[in-house]
Amino acid sequence: MVEGQYYTKEALAKLKAELDELKSKKRREIAERIRDAKGFGDLSENAEYADAKEAQAFIEGRIAEIEHVLENAKVVEDKKGRAKGEAQVGCKVLVVDNKGQEKEYSLVSANEVNSLENKISMSSPVGKALLGKKAGEQVEIKVPAGKMKLTIKKVE
């Protein structure tokens, strides 16, 4: 994980919840699976034991990863930009494309991208174009098919 990645408060809360779940519930479940598997006999040929140990390694790795992220995360908060009505990370931006179709994007850090929820990275071409812009402004983005023009209708 890269040092000092940017996250919204919402994303950090989700990571903290996942960490709590892994530490409180999943660790206990894996310990029980390992204990039960030891009861099946010879550990060198015990598939249940090997599976449980593999799951334990995965969970411990994920715990370490989340702890590292939480220790190094930078929370995105730009009250100045929001007060001015500018599109910033954590904002929702309603745009209209050159075909008249509306689309709402949420600007997020690269770690929070989710195309199903229209969460786009602030470092993506569209995200970069929208950052710092206000309602009423137009942006032009180079795409493989040419250029795409978006008009910003609302920033919240």
Residue 155, pLDDT score: 94
Degrees, nearest 5: CA angle 143-7-22: 120
Architecture of domain 6-75: Orthogonal Bundle (1.10)
User: Residues of CATH 1.10.287.180 domain(s) within the chain?
Assistant: 6-75
Residue 40, pLDDT score: 80
User: Residues of CATH 3.10.50.30 domain(s) within the chain?
Assistant: 79-155
93, 74, 82, 61: which is closest to 11 by C-alpha? 74
Fold of 79-155: Chitinase A; domain 3 (3.10.50)
Position 123 pLDDT exceeds 50: yes
**Taking the model in full, what pTM does it have?**
0.64
- Give the pLDDT band (50/70/90) at residue 77: low
Residue 45 sits at φ, ψ, to 5 deg, of -125, 35
11, 2, 4: which is closest to 108 by C-alpha? 11
